[in-house]
Amino acid sequence: KVIWTLLVTILGYASSLPVGDDSICTAEELAKYSIIFTGKWSQTAFPKQYPLYRPPAQWSSMLGVTHSSDYSMWKKNEYASNGVRDFAEKGEAWVLMKEIEEAGEKIQSVHGIFSAPAISSGTGQTSTELEAHSRHPLVSFVVRIVPSPDWFVGIDSLNLCEGDHWMEEVSVDLFPYDAGTDSGFTFSSPNFATIPQDTVTEITCSSPSHPANSFYYPKLKNLPPIAQVTMVKIKKNQLGLSAPYVNPPAKSNEVIDSISETPLDCEVSQWSSWGLCRGVCRKTGTKIRTRFVLLQPANNGMPCPNLDEETGCEPENCV
């Protein structure tokens, strides 16, 4: 009877533990980190259709969790949840928070929720602290790109534990993702739901392969990072308390802008039809066609060609 009772107790305890590869973490139970998000969305690095007003380029607040492998906030090539859809499209966090809370209550896969303030420009920094547990060593978060149809940056299940110790510091370059719920091509596209819903996909310099895409830079091999996140473990002092962590000074926009200069070639419209032939009867006249600039060049990109063209013609309706 004693053995049976002990076996039931052990099985009951084991069933309450999250299952997954992260269960092999044997580091100390808790670790605190400072997480610093740096926006690198500058007009120099991303000159095409860069939003300057209504609204200007900016970042939403950060929403993240520490969790086990039983939980997933979002994953590339999988469908976004309703909560991620609302956050990516509108910056509304209520449904996503509800999903996180339910995961924590039902399968005990979420240890803690963290958030950081929004950034009112494309470049700048925001930070907060998070707490990871040896049974919940994974970090996931999302930050919405504003304005955009349903674009965001984030991390999916980054493991802060390496066997018997926590990572001291980790930095990750971030690139834009499409939540697969809105079909807009540009930062300012009107809301147009994707039906049926598509999976979460990474936006690259060539995908979606459409000239209207705000991130379409066919001459680049890769997009420059649009943001970066750094997590630094907060050390404990001799009293066992967390030593205060001092954020590094925020980089100025000029420094961030100088990191990457993406050349942008001029784009022009198709030629108009030829105009009327003008000239003296029975002599060669001239007619003109025109085009206009769709996109001004930037950062030493290819300059605009001539916007009008003239050719010879025979005047019509001569008596």
> CATH number for the domain including 289?
2.20.100
The tokens for 130 are 């998070």
Pair (275, 214) in one structural domain: no
Residue 123 belongs to domain spanning: 31-233
pLDDT at position 216, please? 92
pLDDT at position 192, please? 87
Answer whether 51's CB lies under 8 Å from 187's CB.
yes
* Strand, coil or helix: 185: coil
Strand partners, 32: 131
Residue 245 lies in a domain: no
Residue 111 lies in a domain: yes
Pair (67, 211) in one structural domain: yes
CA 81 to CA 65: how far, in whole Å? Answer: 15
Residue 239 lies in a domain: no
Pair (55, 114) in one structural domain: yes
* Percent above pLDDT 70 for the chain: 85
pLDDT, tens digit (0-9, with 9 covering 90-100), for 51-80 = 998 899 999 999 999 999 999 999 999 999
Global pTM value: 0.78
Pair (139, 271) in one structural domain: no
Alpha carbon of residue 54 to chain centroid: 20
Q: What is the mean pLDDT of the chain?
A: 85
- Among 174, 208, 233, the domain-final residue is 233
Q: Mean pLDDT, to the nearest integer, of 34-46?
A: 95
Answer whether 313's CB lies under 8 Å from 283's CB.
no
Pair (49, 159) in one structural domain: yes
Pair (56, 144) in one structural domain: yes
CA 121 to CA 254: how far, in whole Å? Answer: 13
Pair (181, 277) in one structural domain: no
| pLDDT higher than threshold 90 for residue 279 | no
If one counts the domains in the chain, the total is: 2
Pair (165, 285) in one structural domain: no
Residue 22 lies in a domain: no
Answer whether 30's CB lies under 8 Å from 132's CB.
yes
- Among 209, 233, 257, the domain-final residue is 233
pLDDT, tens digit (0-9, with 9 covering 90-100), for 227-272 = 999 999 998 764 455 555 555 544 444 444 445 788 878 788 888 9
Pair (279, 166) in one structural domain: no
pLDDT at position 6, please? 44
